[in-house]
């Protein structure tokens, strides 16, 4: 069996994985799903939140594992797992990008988002540069993140969304072939995504090829809309990684 470390995206917290964690555990796997700095129950002040602090938090989780992990990153979590793999390639068996930012060295999340003609994020955010945060308009959250989710799940998620620190969005990813480049990676694309457009997802995994690409006919949040199907893909990936 495998150890999964699940890394949530912007505005979210570990709560995003609440349907996935028990299903993976029922399948016999160990699962860790930390809150990134400044998210969920972590009260790190916004000025201290950075891409480095995100990677530090996940690295702490990896330090506590007895074996290399399958590292899953959703959305913004993609740049976090890339940074962690660059630091600790020996601790990661497989990188899984779930509708996530898979960026080359020196590229920022913001630069990539600004070239995405399909995203609904940029026109539905409110930026407070003085506080260093960006928030999603509540009335747009369903369309942006949760298009195929139940009304109950949407309302529950909207209640838990938090302001997002701006700094990680504008920080260049630092990865290279020697470390990050030697870790196997898979991409799970979401074909009804309105947060990261499908064309942008395809462009990213084409520019940085993955060993496997899995397509899901879902919105940006399959961990809420179709958790069983998502877990079946993750379990299958673990089985292959074990061979």
Question: What superfamily would CATH give domain 3-242?
Answer: Alpha/Beta hydrolase fold, catalytic domain (3.40.50.1820)
Res 242 pLDDT > 90: no
Catalytic-role residue among 8, 29, 74, 193: 193
Residue 220 annotated in active site: yes
Helices (H), 40-168: 51-63, 77-87, 109-113, 141-145, 151-160
Report domain extents, the chain: 3-242
Closest CA to 37 of 68, 17, 58: 58
pTM over 0.95, yes/no: yes
Residue 193 annotated in active site: yes
Burial class of residue 79 (count of CB atoms within 10 Å of its CB; 0-12, 13-18, 19+)? buried
Burial class of residue 18 (count of CB atoms within 10 Å of its CB; 0-12, 13-18, 19+)? middle
Res 66 pLDDT > 90: yes
Whole-angstrom distance, CA of residue 138 vs CA of residue 161:
9
- At 196-234, the pLDDT tens digits run 999 999 999 999 999 999 999 999 999 999 999 999 999
C-alpha distances in angstroms, 160 versus 12, 19, 190?
Answer: 7, 15, 23
Catalytic-role residue among 8, 88, 220, 233: 220
């Amino acid at each position: 069996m495998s150890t999964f470390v699940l890394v949530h995206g912007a505005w979210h917290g570990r709560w995003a994985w609440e349907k996935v964690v028990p299903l993976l555990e029922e399948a016999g796997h160990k699962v860790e799903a930390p809150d990134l700095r400044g998210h969920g129950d972590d009260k790190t002040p916004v000025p201290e939140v950075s891409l480095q602090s995100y990677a530090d938090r996940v690295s702490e989780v990896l330090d506590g594992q007895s074996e290399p992990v399958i590292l899953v990153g959703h959305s913004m979590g993609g740049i976090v797992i890339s940074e962690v793999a660059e630091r600790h390639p020996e601790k990661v068996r497989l990188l899984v990008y779930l509708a996530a930012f898979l960026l080359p060295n020196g590229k920022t999340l913001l630069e990539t988002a600004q070239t995405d003609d399909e995203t609904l994020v940029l026109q539905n955010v409110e930026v407070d540069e003085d506080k260093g945060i960006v928030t999603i308009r509540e009335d747009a959250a369903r369309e942006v993140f949760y298009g195929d989710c139940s009304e109950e799940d949407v309302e529950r998620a909207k209640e838990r969304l938090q302001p997002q620190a701006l700094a990680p969005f504008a920080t260049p990813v630092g990865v290279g072939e020697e470390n990050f480049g030697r870790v196997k990676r898979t991409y799970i694309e979401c074909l009804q995504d309105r947060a990261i457009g499908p064309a942008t997802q395809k462009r990213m995994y084409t520019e940085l090829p993955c060993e496997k690409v899995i397509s899901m006919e879902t919105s940006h949040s399959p961990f809420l809309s179709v958790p069983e199907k998502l877990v079946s893909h993750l379990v299958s990936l673990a089985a292959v990684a074990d061979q």
